[in-house]
Amino acid sequence: MSYLEKIDNLRFPAFSNEVETFVCPILKSYNEAPCGLRLAHGWRYFDNIRIIQNYKSSYFETIMSPKELMKSASLAGSSSLLEAEIIIDCLTKQRDQFSRLDMSFAHLMGIINLTPDSFFEESQSLNSLSVCKTARQMFNDGASIVDLGAESSRPGSKRISSEQELKRVLPSLIEIQKTNDLNINISLDTRNLSTMVKGFDNGVNIINDISSFANEKSIRFISKENIPIILMHMQKEPDVMQQKPTYKFAPIDIFKFFSNKIHSLMKLGVKKSNIVIDPGIGFGKTLKHNLDILNYLPLFHCLGVPILIGVSRKSLIADISIEKYKSKSFKKKILDPGNRLSGSIAFAIQGYNNGIQILRTHDVFETKQAFLCQETVY
């Protein structure tokens, strides 16, 4: 674990060889930053940025304007200046469409669990007719994507066979295809190649892999078929991921993971326009790690791809609530994921204000309502 110190001036010129330099825009509405740069051709703007430098495993943060960043980088030479220009271009460049969706707007991904052991029982749909009905309702309530998962990834969960996973999910995919007159974007949450193949053959538009396609055969499949994908960061496997997870500084460590992963996928033929990243809130992270990631979410825009976050109903909400409010009866209530809607909405709005393009939620209607109100206020 490293310490982050906030300082008034950079210790080294931006992107100089002595340090690692990272950029995190400070995002505002257009009314708050009318002369600012527009983030990814979307709904947020920035006129100041956090510059984070890693020097000998210590992190230092300075706030400056994009012009000041360019001036600092120029002191380190032309290659450093070019790197700064590339980062600003990544931040401002319009994102490509992802599975027919315009990434200049925020989208909701509705969650449907086909697992009997999901951490949130109310999200479970264990027969194909129920799944189809729920998917249509989510679409009508404002979801752009519906995400189906047949293997639980809750902390402590054990992996199931691909045969068992297919047995759970395939009937629902077939049923949705029979009546998909709404042309719903279907995402399949799986890390098994055989499930990916069967899913794609039965109408799946997006593959959401919590292992970030650790299997090279899966990478070659999605590359060949040109399938949009979601990469999620997870430290270790779900059954052991919460056993003493460690990072130097979680946002930077995860940023570097995705930077390397995107590069390796592109070398294997995956189009950058087909990639969305998910920092994996709650997957191999402590409360401190999760909060650091959420506080530095705009950092991930420097990767130049859309971002997804999923905080809906997670234990993070209970952890914060219990720490801040000591009532025993409150603690008993908040331990039930069914009582975490308000916290889920709060984090969804925080994601929206940080320019996050896809919010994964159990509660599409309520989150869409919150988004519409937030858009009107700003």
Among positive and negative, which fits the CA dihedral 186, 188, 193, 199?
negative
Distance CA 65, CA 71 (A): 10
3-state SS class at 32: coil
Please check whether residue 24 is in contact with residue 355, taking contact to mean a CB–CB distance below 8 angstroms.
no
248 is catalytic: no
Strands (E) located in the chain: 4-6, 20-28, 37-38, 45-55, 58-64, 107-113, 145-149, 185-189, 206-209, 229-232, 275-278, 308-309, 358-361
What is the Cα 208 distance to its own chain's centre?
A: 11
Q: Which of 191, 285, 360, 368 is catalytic?
A: 360
Count the neighbouring beta carbons within 10 Å of the beta carbon of residue 198.
19
Nearest to 32 by CA among 44, 18, 21: 44
Which two structure tokens, joined as six digits, stand for 105? 């707007």
Distance CA 146, CA 306 (A): 17
Q: Which of 198, 314, 340, 368 is catalytic?
A: 314
Distance CA 227, CA 290 (A): 29
Distance CA 214, CA 256 (A): 16
3-state SS class at 79: helix
Q: Are strands 45-55 and 58-64 parallel, antiparallel or unpaired?
A: antiparallel
Residue with tokens 């600012």: 36
313 is catalytic: no
Nearest to 349 by CA among 297, 299, 280: 297
Residue 105's identity, in one-letter code, is: F
Residues with catalytic annotation? 314, 360
